[in-house]
Amino acid sequence: GNLADYALLERTLAEYEINMVFHLAAQTIVGIANRSPLSTFETNIRGTWLLLEATRRNPTVEGVVVASSEKAYGQPHYLPFTEEHPLHGNHPYDVSKSAVDLIAQTYAHTYQLPVAITRFSNLYGGGDLNWNRLLPGTIRSVLRGQPPVIRSDGSFKRDYVYVEDAVRAYLTLAELVGQPGICGEAFNFGLGQPASALEVVETVIRVSDIPHVQPLILDEVRNEIRDEYLHAEKACRLLGWLPQYDLESGLIRTMGWYRDFLDSQQQRT
């Protein structure tokens, strides 16, 4: 169904007696958002208020966890981002996440809907088939013996969270969302160890045991923030969340998944 179909959202929540909602649906690609802001705003912003309104009207819902993003902060006034940093997105995707974040807070504070918000660093792990991302695009290129492509100049820094750590964060937050001090709050989730795009690619190459591959640096990025990374002390203190995987150990597990996946795809052809 369509996230912008309010009747469908309300009927689904009611007919399946949903008690916990994880709102992860979005247009998630920065480049697409720059090219197509209207569809991004329609899905990310309007889709969010429609879903929250449907949950507000459904008595079975006991909590909602809404996916915002570190990009909701926009250009950094300081780094690492803390939850107190203003939400000042400038470009279409960033603005959509700033709006999502504020709308979710509105439903918590105005209507006492049990909502909590996640602001994650870049997520990676098996199952993501959007090859335009640095991860998993680099992994596929390296496993094929091809030069991985870096769209920036290689120096842009990001923090990365392995998907299993992200799942634990979502489940923990869902269990606690109705408690005082959690409801209506936003939480950062990140390692606090930013790596440049070139460092990420070099780590992929190192753990792949295919050392002869060299990256192709395009330096063509526009409308992207140079450095982004988070402070996750609040999540650690209030939720007891700590990442279990650093970048290298997460990439080793991720590499194994994509190696198996690409091998199975090749066998089918």
Would you please indicate which residues are annotated as catalytic (active-site) residues?
93
Q: Is 148 exposed, middle or buried (0-12, 13-18, 19+ CB in 10 A)?
A: buried
Cβ contact 187:239 at 8 Å: yes
Q: Interior CA angle at 224 toward 219 and 228, to 5°?
A: 110
Cβ contact 93:72 at 8 Å: no
